[in-house]
């Protein structure tokens, strides 16, 4: 039996356009220049308040970062409703999830820096809720790369980290997996580069979702 835990943004869905636009509007609202999309990509995966503080170059979350986090959340839904700012699945994700869901020896879950509301929206939009039996979000655990999301999913399902695989596109996913004692698989279609994923501790990096079921079968 294997527990397979997926990151969401940059792994299952291509959300960078939306995240960047909401982040840019938030920074401008607070009197800052619009961040670059590269700056936004670098923080995807972190809990929102920590991500904003890091983009500002702050070592800790302060009152302003907290206020900016609240503003980001307040404008997220209305921004997402605008044309072209939805969160589509990456090519091949739906087929890969269906293939894994058909295998009795695999349990699936999600570990994400999104809010619980944000994750539920993705699960419901793409029909994944029935396949993901466990999940942890930014509302539940410390930010990645803290191992809490993984270890809590293991505890809930009765699995151990040694039989758990974390699949993600960010260095924080790789670091979280290794800190928990799980296997780390990086995906090359997300927002970090392959060298960054390897340097962060990836046990493998896959180029397309179709590779994932075969890798899990072989391990």
Using only the alpha carbons of the chain, give its radius of gyration. 17
Q: How is domain 16-80 classified at the architecture level of CATH?
A: Orthogonal Bundle (1.10)
Select 2-14+87-218's CATH number: 3.40.50.1000, 3.40.50.2300, 3.50.50.60, 3.40.710.10: 3.40.50.1000
pLDDT at position 215 is 86
> Per 3-state DSSP, what percentage of the chain is helix, strand, and coil (rounded to 5)?
45, 15, 35
Per-residue pLDDT of the chain (219 residues; tens, 9 = 90+): 999 999 999 999 999 999 999 999 999 999 999 999 999 999 999 999 999 999 999 999 999 999 999 999 999 999 999 998 889 999 999 999 999 999 999 999 999 999 999 999 999 999 999 999 999 999 999 999 999 999 999 999 999 999 999 999 999 999 999 999 999 999 999 999 999 999 999 999 999 999 999 988 755
Question: How many residues are there in the chain?
Answer: 219
pLDDT at position 86 is 85
Comparing 2-14+87-218 with 16-80, is the CATH topology the same?
Answer: no
């Amino acid at each position: 039996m294997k527990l397979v835990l997926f990151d969401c943004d940059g792994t299952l869905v291509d959300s960078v356009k939306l995240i960047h636009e909401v982040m840019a509007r938030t920074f401008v609202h607070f009197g800052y220049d619009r961040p670059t999309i590269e700056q936004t990509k670098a923080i995807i995966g972190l809990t929102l308040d920590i991500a904003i503080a890091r983009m500002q170059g702050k070592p800790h979350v302060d009152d302003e970062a907290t206020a900016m986090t609240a503003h980001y959340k307040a404008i997220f839904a209305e921004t997402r409703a605008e044309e072209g700012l939805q969160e589509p699945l990456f090519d091949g994700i739906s087929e890969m999830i269906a293939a894994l869901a058909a295998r009795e020896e695999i349990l699936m879950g999600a570990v994400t820096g999104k809010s619980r509301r944000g994750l539920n929206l993705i699960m419901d939009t793409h029909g994944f809720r029935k396949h993901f039996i466990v999940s942890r979000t930014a509302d539940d655990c410390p930010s990645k790369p803290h191992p809490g999301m993984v270890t809590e999913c293991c505890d809930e399902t009765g699995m151990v980290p040694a039989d758990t695989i974390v699949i993600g596109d960010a260095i924080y996913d790789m670091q979280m997996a290794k800190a928990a004692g799980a296997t780390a698989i990086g995906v090359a279609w997300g927002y970090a580069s392959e060298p960054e994923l390897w340097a962060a501790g990836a046990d493998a990096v896959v180029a397309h979702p179709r590779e994932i079921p075969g890798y899990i079968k072989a391990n």
